[in-house]
Structure 1
Amino acid sequence: MDLSDATWTDVRNLETDLAVVPVGSTEQHGPHAPLGTDVLTAEAVADAGIERVDREVVRAPAIPVGIAEEHRQFPGTMWVSEDTFRDYVGEAVASLAHHGFDRVVLVNGHGGNVDALREVGGRLTRNGDAYVVPFTWFEGVGEHTADMGHGGPLETGLLRHCEPDLVREDRIDEALAGAADGWGDWTSYVNLAYDAAEFTENGVVGDPEEGDARRGEELLSLAADGLARLLETVAERDVSRPERR
């Protein structure tokens, strides 16, 4: 059930404790992909994963702004601090738990959110508020994960499959011309760059042309299958905390 479409009386009658919260970002994805890429992809994976499980799941509204200050040189990018993000996600999930939806999977579409979401999940779980785990879709697509860039083949491919009208196909050559080969500027295993503009001219990392709609369809299938397995596991898991040793 999508909470945005439901009434409170619909929600009152649900017999499930399992919820999914898509989490993304509003940030540049090069000249060819929309600022909402990370939200759109997280929502697509969340919905496809839910469709694959034979149980009721509450689908919460997406959280559209995340930890993205590294893209601040590119107009339209929005961000909040890590503290604000953790507090907001944590309180949003706690409100779900208040209504009995206390097994929660956070479906994430933005790399900058990863560490904070893991911290939020651990804190809420250890405090007994809810059992919360994050799932970042592009980490669950097998060998494709190695090609994850930014506005590159994975995100562009998934958009071409799910939201083709939002990809500016006439700007793909421009996107590639100003792209970086990899994320960051590395020496001695240290990333010297704090902002994306230090190593990519137009915000793109990777070749978006390598992400066609067929690849996007495969990515969605792989990510949704992984999410479905996770949802089943979370639904059946013993979430009581271990005793002190």
Structure 2
Amino acid sequence: MDLTTATWTDVRDLETDLAIVPVGSTEQHGPHAPLGTDVLTAEAIADAGIERVDREVVRAPAIPVGIAEEHRQFPGTMWVSEDTFRDYVGEAVASLAHHGFDRVVLVNGHGGNVDALREVGGRLTRAGDAYVVPFTWFAAVGEHSDDMGHGGPLETGLLRHLEPALIREDRIEAARAGGADGWGEWTSYVNMAYDAAEFTENGVVGDPDDGDAKRGEELFEGAADALARLLEAVAERDVSRPERR
């Protein structure tokens, strides 16, 4: 059930404790892909995962702004601090738990959110407020995960499958020309760069043309199937905390 279109009485009558919260970011994705890429992909995969399970799942509205200050040199990018993000996500989940939806999967579309979401999940779970686990779609697509860049083949391919009109195909060559091969500037296993603009002229990392619609469909199906398996596991899990050893 989508909370955006449901009434409170609809929600009152539900018999489930399982919820999904899509989490993304509003940030540059090169000259060819939309600022809302991370939100659009997280929402689409969340919805597809729900469709694949034979149980009621509450679908919360997406959280559209995340930890993205590393893209601040590119106009249109929005961000909040890590503390604000953790607090906001945590309190949003706590409000779901207040109504009995205390098994929550955070479906994430942005790499900058990963560490904070893991911290939020651990904190709420250990406190007994809810059982919360983060799921990042591009970490769940097998060997494709190795090609994850930024506005690169995975995100471009997925959007070519989901929302092809949003990809500015006439800018793909420019995206390739001004992009970087990898994320960061590495010396002695240390990334010396803090902002994306230090190593990519136009915000792109990876070759977007390596992600066609066919690959996007494969990514979508793989991520949605993985999410469905996770939802089933979360629904069936014993979430009581272990005793002190």
TM-score scaled by length of structure 1:
1.00
The answer on 1:144 being equivalent to 2:144 is: yes
Partner of 2:221: 221
- C-alpha offsets along residues 1-22 of structure 1, whole Å, 9 cap, x if unaligned? 1000100000000000000000
- CA positional deviation for 1:90: 0.1
- C-alpha offsets along residues 176-223 of structure 1, whole Å, 9 cap, x if unaligned? 000000000000100000000000000000000010111000000000
Which residue identity is paired with 1:121?
G
- C-alpha offsets along residues 36-93 of structure 1, whole Å, 9 cap, x if unaligned? 0000000011011111000000000000000000000000000000000000000000
- CA positional deviation for 1:172: 0.3
Partner of 1:64: 64
Partner of 2:38: 38
Question: Unpaired segments of 5 or more residues in structure 2?
Answer: none
Q: How many equivalent pairs are there? A: 245
Partner of 1:209: 209
> Which residues of 2 match residues 21-170 of structure 1 at below 5 A?
21-170=21-170
Q: Could you tell me how far apart the structure 2 residues matched to 1:153 and 1:45 are? A: 17
- CA positional deviation for 1:147: 0.3
Which residue identity is paired with 2:167?
V
Which residue identity is paired with 2:83?
D
Q: Could you tell me how far apart the structure 2 residues matched to 1:120 and 1:200 are? A: 31
- C-alpha offsets along residues 123-168 of structure 1, whole Å, 9 cap, x if unaligned? 0000000000000000000000000000000000000011111110
Question: Residue 216 of structure 2: SS of its match in structure 1?
Answer: helix
Q: Could you tell me how far apart the structure 2 residues matched to 1:139 and 1:47 are? A: 18
Partner of 1:191: 191
Question: Residue 93 of structure 1: SS of its match in structure 2?
Answer: helix
Question: Residue 75 of structure 1: SS of its match in structure 2?
Answer: coil
**RMSD (Å) for aligned C-alpha atoms:** 0.3
Which residue identity is paired with 1:202?
N
Q: Could you tell me how far apart the structure 1 residues matched to 2:167 and 2:40 are? A: 12
Partner of 2:17: 17
4+ residue stretches of structure 1 with deviation over 6 A?
none
Q: Could you tell me how far apart the structure 2 residues matched to 1:118 and 1:134 are? A: 6
> Which residues of 2 match residues 171-182 of structure 1 at below 5 A?
171-182=171-182
Question: Unpaired segments of 5 or more residues in structure 1?
Answer: none
Question: Residue 106 of structure 1: SS of its match in structure 2?
Answer: strand
TM-score scaled by length of structure 2:
1.00
Question: Residue 19 of structure 2: SS of its match in structure 1?
Answer: strand
Give the fraction of aligned pairs with identical amino acids, expressed as a percent. Answer: 89
Which residue identity is paired with 1:31?
P
